[in-house]
Amino acid sequence: MTEFNDVISSRLNELFAGETDYMTASKLNMSPANLNKIRNGKQQPTAETLKLISEKYNVSVDWILGIKEHKDINALDLTTLTYEQVFSLINALYDSRTVEIVDRGTKKKPHPDPDYFKVNDPALSFMLRRRVALISVDESYFQDWIEKHLPQYNGLPLLVCTKEMLEYFQDPSIASFKEGDWITRIKEYQQKINSQDNAKGDE
């Protein structure tokens, strides 16, 4: 049990780094003394406390307990993906119009080919093109991009590819966009959509 507590203690100390015990305890509705016991591995957090830590810090309970290495609550464990999960993801991308099947036939004789996808989402298209470009130079460049830039997209919701969304991203300057530009543009569009939804709710 001590080793288990040590794992929890190590992960919580990593999570709470940069905060005083008072700040963290206030977030978790507990006394600094109880927090100190948990941080030092002298006491296990209750299920309720684990749930609260997960919600406040957006981390997986499995990560806190040392069961998984993925900290992010929404992280995909690529080593355990099933066909059902992958199909459900692709199906959801169809529904959101992020991807579509390319028609490889003629106007007179259409022939949609399910093995060929067209990526409609301009930001996702940029990311995939970035992957190809970096790997073609050196795979280590792509791994560097994965470590430095991909985390910046964490928490950004996948947008539905409506006509309005695609028009919003039709901008000549997009050709020179970098990671930060795409992230800013996605956030701006999401704020616009949220404002529109709130305005409709007030009607």
pTM of the prediction?
0.67
Instruction: Give a yes or no: residue 71 inside a domain.
Output: no
* Average pLDDT of the chain, as a whole number: 87
Q: pLDDT digits over 9-68, tens only?
A: 899 999 898 888 899 999 899 999 999 988 888 888 999 999 999 988 888 898 899 888
Two tokens, residue 17: 């780094």
Could you tell me if 113 and 157 lie in one domain? yes
pLDDT of residue 142: 93
- Answer yes or no: are the C-beta atoms of 137 and 181 closer than 8 Å: no
Tell me how crowded residue 186 is: count the other CB atoms within 10 A of its CB. Answer: 19
Is residue 165 located within the same domain as residue 95? Answer: yes
Average pLDDT over residues 133-139: 94
Please tell me the distance from the alpha carbon of residue 118 to that of residue 109, in angstroms, as a whole number.
19
- How far is CA 124 from each of CA 135, 173, 195, rounded to the nearest angstrom? 17, 17, 24
Number of domains forming the structure of the chain: 2
Residue 85: pLDDT over 90: no
Q: Tell me what pLDDT residue 143 has.
A: 92
Residue range(s) defining the domain that contains residue 87: 78-202
Task: Give phi and psi for 76, each to the nearest 5.
Answer: -90, 130
Quote the CA–CA distance of 67 and 198 in Å, as a whole number: 40
Q: Looking at residue 141, what is its pLDDT?
A: 93
